[in-house]
Amino acid sequence: MKKGNWTVYHLWAWILLVWSLYRNYFKLPEWADELIAKPLVFVIPVLWYVRKLEKRTLVTIGVTGKNFFTSVYIGLGFGFVFALEGLAAHAIKYGGLKINPIDAFLQYGMGLLLLLSLATAVSEELLSRGFVFTRILEKTKSLPKASLLSTFLFVLLHVPILVTSLKLQGMTLILFFVTDIILGLANSLLFYNTRSLVAPILVHVFWNMTVALYL
């Protein structure tokens, strides 16, 4: 968890700061955010920390083929559950079901939007579950503490986009935070049981696509 003057919290704080500045000062297309900016801001610092400071393998942050097919089945199953949750949230918000796609869907179409959702899921899950959750768990030896704290930090990562782009209000804002918390906690448990990022990434993709099409 701690290497010299660095801890997982220091690295996370720097990532949040850089991401907040990026969101505030740069208004690039969504594909640039997800395919270029997030890997640079979220992924590269984590890889540097793990390989250079900790001198550990990427297996310790869930980059592994172990339990791959089991993780795929679990991810697809729970992803479907999260899609249903998204539909329920949509029904609460609008009083019924109707497709209400975000601008990115109208601009890019289903195929590219799916790619962007996958890119988002990989970057955010590698940082939040693979790195933050595992390192807190190693330090605290407590699954509840690691799940709650890493989920709290995961939710905070979404504040910059709420402030600069989405500007959600009312019930939509409440649903956003509630579903983010549920997603963070569920993916922490999935990662803990599979030791692989595959299942959390798939669940995250399902959730992203549900948000894109219905919320």
The answer to whether the CB of 131 falls within 8 A of the CB of 188 is no
**To which H or E segment does residue 15 belong?**
helix 8-25
The answer to whether residue 105 scores a pLDDT higher than 80 is no
Averaged confidence pLDDT in the chain: 86
Q: Are residues 86 and 211 in contact, defined by beta-carbon separation less than 8 angstroms?
A: yes
pLDDT tens profile 1-52: 555 567 999 999 999 999 999 998 998 988 899 999 999 999 999 999 999 9
Tens digits of residue pLDDT in 130-140? 999 999 999 99
Please say if the pLDDT value at position 167 is more than 90: no
- Rounded CA separation 64/61 (Å): 9
Question: Is pLDDT larger for residue 134 or for residue 99?
Answer: 134
Residue extents of the structural domains in the chain: 2-214
Full-model pTM: 0.89
- The H or E element containing residue 25 is helix 8-25
